[in-house]
Structure 1
Amino acid sequence: MAEIVFDDSTRSWLIRTAATSYALRLTDDDAPSHVYWGPALTADQLADVLNRTEERWDSFNDPNEGLDELAADGGTRYWTPALQVRFADGTRALEWRYLGHDIDGMSLRVHFRDRHYPLRITLGYHVPAGTDVIERWTELAHDGTDGPIEIIRADSATWVAPIRPDYRISHVTGGWAAESQLLREPVPHGETTFGSRRGITSHHANPWVMLDDGEATERHGEVYSAALAWSGSWRITTTRSSTGRLTVTGGFGQDGVVPRLAPGDTLTTPVFAGLYTDGGFGAASRAWHAYTLDHVLPHPGELRPVLYNSWEATGFDVTEAGQRALAEMAAALGVELFVMDDGWFGARSGDHAGLGDWQVNRDKFPGGLEPLVREVHRLGMKFGLWVEPEMVNPDSDLYRAHPDWVLHHPHRTRSELRRQLVLNFARPDVAEWAFGTLDSLVGEHGIDFLKWDMNRPFSEAGWPGAVDPDTLWVEHTRSVYAIMDRLRARHPGLRIEACSGGGGRIDLGVLARTDQVWTSDNTDALDRLVIQHGYGQVYPARAMSAWVTDDPNFVTRRSTPLRFRFHVAMAGVLGIGGDIVKWPEEDLVHAREQIALYKDIRPIVQHGRLHRLVPPATDGLSALQYVAADGGRAVVFVFRQAAHFHTRERPLRLDGLDPAARYRDEDTGKVWHGASLLAHGLFPGLPDGDFASAVIRLTKV
Structure 2
Amino acid sequence: MTIYIDDDQLLFHLQGNNTSYVMQVIRDGYLAHLYWGKRVHSYRGSNKIIFMERGFSPNPDASDRTFSLDTLPQEYPAYGNGDFRIPAYQIQLDNGSIVTDLRYKKHRMYKGKPKLKGLPSTYVEDDNEAETLEIIMEDRMLGLTATLAYSLYADRDVITRSVQFDNQGSQNLKILRALSTSVDFRDDEFELITLYGAHINEKNIERRRIVPGIQMVDSCRGASSPQQAPFLALVRKGTDEDQGEVYAFNLVYSGNFTAQVQVDPYRNTRVSIGINPFDFSWLLEPGETFQTPEVILVYTAKGLGDMSRIYHDLYSKRLCRVPFRDRVRPILINNWEATYFDFDAEKIEQIANEANQLGIELFVLDDGWFGKRDDSKSSLGDWVVNQRKLPNGLADLANRVRNLGMEFGLWFEPEMVSIDSELYRTHPDWCLQVPDRPHTLGRNQLVLDLSRQDVCDYVIKALSDILSDAPITYVKWDMNRHMTDIGSMALSPERQRETAHRYILGLYKIMEEITARFPNILFESCSSGGGRFDAGMLYYMPQIWTSDNTDAICRLKIQYGTSLVYPPITMGAHVSSVPNHQVGRMTPLETRGYVAMSGNLGYELDLTKLTEEEKEAVKEQIALYKEIRPLIQFGRFYRIFNPFDGNEAAWNFVSEDQSEAAAYYFKVLSQPAAPLRTIKFKGLHPDYVYENVESGELFGGDELMNVGITLSTIKQDFSSMFWRFKKHSV
What TM-score, normalized to structure 2? 0.93
Pairwise CA distance, 1:52? 4.7
Match 2:435 to one of 391, 404, 410 = 410
Contact 1:253 1:474 survives alignment (8 Å): no
Q: Which segment is superposed worse, 223-232 or 471-480?
A: 471-480
Pairwise CA distance, 1:686? 5.8
Aligned mates of 1:595, 1:671 — CA distance in 2: 26
Contact 2:178 2:277 survives alignment (8 Å): no
Q: Indicate whether 1:499 and 2:526 are aligned.
A: yes
Aligned mates of 2:713, 2:673 — CA distance in 1: 13
Contact 1:619 1:642 survives alignment (8 Å): no
Q: Indicate whether 1:154 and 2:154 are aligned.
A: no
Q: Indicate whether 1:550 and 2:577 are aligned.
A: yes
Q: Indicate whether 1:47 and 2:48 are aligned.
A: no
Aligned mates of 2:308, 2:490 — CA distance in 1: 46
Q: Indicate whether 1:459 and 2:484 are aligned.
A: yes
Indicate the residue corresponding to 2:114 in structure 1.
none
Aligned residue identity for 2:279: G
Indicate the residue corresponding to 1:23 in structure 2.
22
Pairwise CA distance, 1:31? 2.1
Aligned mates of 1:365, 1:107 — CA distance in 2: 53
Q: Indicate whether 1:675 and 2:675 are aligned.
A: no
* SS of residue paired to 1:548: strand
Task: Give the total of aligned pairs.
Answer: 696
Matches within 5 A, 1:63-462: 65=71, 67-105=73-111, 106-146=131-171, 148-161=172-185, 163=187, 166-299=189-322, 300-462=325-487
Q: Please give the per-residue CA displacement for 1:132-191, whole angstroms capped at 9, x wherever unaligned.
A: 111100111112233x21111100011233525x21011111111111011111113211
Q: Please give the per-residue CA displacement for 1:597-620, whole angstroms capped at 9, x wherever unaligned.
A: 111111111111111111114863
Q: Which segment is superposed worse, 640-649 or 662-671?
A: 640-649
Seen in structure 2, the aligned counterparts of structure 1 residues 696 and 426 have a Cα distance that, compared at 3 Å, is: same
Seen in structure 2, the aligned counterparts of structure 1 residues 237 and 556 have a Cα distance that, compared at 3 Å, is: same
Contact 2:85 2:264 survives alignment (8 Å): no
* SS of residue paired to 1:603: helix
Aligned mates of 2:107, 2:303 — CA distance in 1: 34
Contact 1:66 1:79 survives alignment (8 Å): no
Q: Which segment is superposed worse, 538-547 or 70-79?
A: 70-79
Q: Which segment is superposed worse, 467-476 or 341-350?
A: 467-476
Contact 1:20 1:40 survives alignment (8 Å): yes
* SS of residue paired to 2:540: coil
Contact 1:12 1:24 survives alignment (8 Å): yes
* SS of residue paired to 2:278: coil
Aligned mates of 1:296, 1:66 — CA distance in 2: 35
Aligned residue identity for 1:362: Q
Contact 1:619 1:640 survives alignment (8 Å): no
Contact 1:686 1:692 survives alignment (8 Å): no
Aligned residue identity for 1:70: Y
Contact 2:32 2:72 survives alignment (8 Å): no
In the alignment, structure 2 segments of 5+ residues that lack a partner are: 59-67, 112-130
Q: Please give the per-residue CA displacement for 1:205-240, whole angstroms capped at 9, x wherever unaligned.
A: 101111112210111111111100010111011111
* SS of residue paired to 2:29: coil
Q: Please give the per-residue CA displacement for 1:566-606, whole angstroms capped at 9, x wherever unaligned.
A: 11111111110011111111111000001111111111111
Pairwise CA distance, 1:502? 1.1
Q: Please give the per-residue CA displacement for 1:238-285, whole angstroms capped at 9, x wherever unaligned.
A: 111232211210101331322211222211000011110010111111
* SS of residue paired to 1:589: helix
Q: Please give the per-residue CA displacement for 1:27-86, whole angstroms capped at 9, x wherever unaligned.
A: 2121221111111123xx311336357243344385862611012123111111111111
Contact 2:74 2:183 survives alignment (8 Å): no
Contact 1:415 1:460 survives alignment (8 Å): yes
Aligned residue identity for 1:462: G
Indicate the residue corresponding to 2:33 in structure 1.
34
Contact 1:56 1:63 survives alignment (8 Å): no
Aligned mates of 2:102, 2:28 — CA distance in 1: 7
Seen in structure 2, the aligned counterparts of structure 1 residues 111 and 66 have a Cα distance that, compared at 3 Å, is: same
Seen in structure 2, the aligned counterparts of structure 1 residues 487 and 575 have a Cα distance that, compared at 3 Å, is: same
Indicate the residue corresponding to 1:510 in structure 2.
537
Aligned residue identity for 2:77: A
Indicate the residue corresponding to 2:503 in structure 1.
476
Indicate the residue corresponding to 2:117 in structure 1.
none
Aligned residue identity for 1:502: G
Aligned mates of 1:613, 1:403 — CA distance in 2: 53
* SS of residue paired to 2:34: strand
Q: Please give the per-residue CA displacement for 1:600-650, whole angstroms capped at 9, x wherever unaligned.
A: 111111111111111114863321111111100011101111112232532
Aligned mates of 1:162, 1:690 — CA distance in 2: 48
Aligned mates of 1:640, 1:379 — CA distance in 2: 38
Q: Which segment is superposed worse, 461-470 or 215-224?
A: 461-470
Q: Please give the per-residue CA displacement for 1:379-437, whole angstroms capped at 9, x wherever unaligned.
A: 22221110000000000000000000000001111100110000000100000101111
Matches within 5 A, 1:582-597: 582-597=609-624
What TM-score, normalized to structure 1? 0.97
Contact 2:69 2:83 survives alignment (8 Å): no
How large is the RMSD of aligned CA atoms in angstroms?
1.5
Contact 1:161 1:224 survives alignment (8 Å): no
Seen in structure 2, the aligned counterparts of structure 1 residues 334 and 436 have a Cα distance that, compared at 3 Å, is: same
Aligned residue identity for 1:116: M
Seen in structure 2, the aligned counterparts of structure 1 residues 514 and 162 have a Cα distance that, compared at 3 Å, is: farther
Pairwise CA distance, 1:88? 1.3
Q: Please give the per-residue CA displacement for 1:501-555, whole angstroms capped at 9, x wherever unaligned.
A: 1110011111111020011110111110011111000000010001100100011
Q: Which segment is superposed worse, 304-313 or 127-136?
A: 127-136
Q: Indicate whether 1:540 and 2:574 are aligned.
A: no
Indicate the residue corresponding to 1:5 in structure 2.
4
Q: Please give the per-residue CA displacement for 1:4-38, whole angstroms capped at 9, x wherever unaligned.
A: 12111211111112321111111212122111111
Q: Please give the per-residue CA displacement for 1:641-688, whole angstroms capped at 9, x wherever unaligned.
A: 111223253221111112221110001101112121112101244643
Indicate the residue corresponding to 1:660 in structure 2.
687
* SS of residue paired to 2:703: helix
Aligned residue identity for 2:721: A
Aligned residue identity for 2:420: D
Q: Which segment is superposed worse, 477-486 or 664-673?
A: 477-486
Aligned residue identity for 1:98: Y
Seen in structure 2, the aligned counterparts of structure 1 residues 63 and 354 have a Cα distance that, compared at 3 Å, is: closer
* SS of residue paired to 1:698: strand
* SS of residue paired to 2:201: coil
Aligned mates of 2:26, 2:508 — CA distance in 1: 38
Aligned mates of 2:140, 2:53 — CA distance in 1: 23
Aligned residue identity for 1:565: R
Contact 2:452 2:490 survives alignment (8 Å): no
* SS of residue paired to 1:433: helix
Identical residues among aligned pairs (%): 34
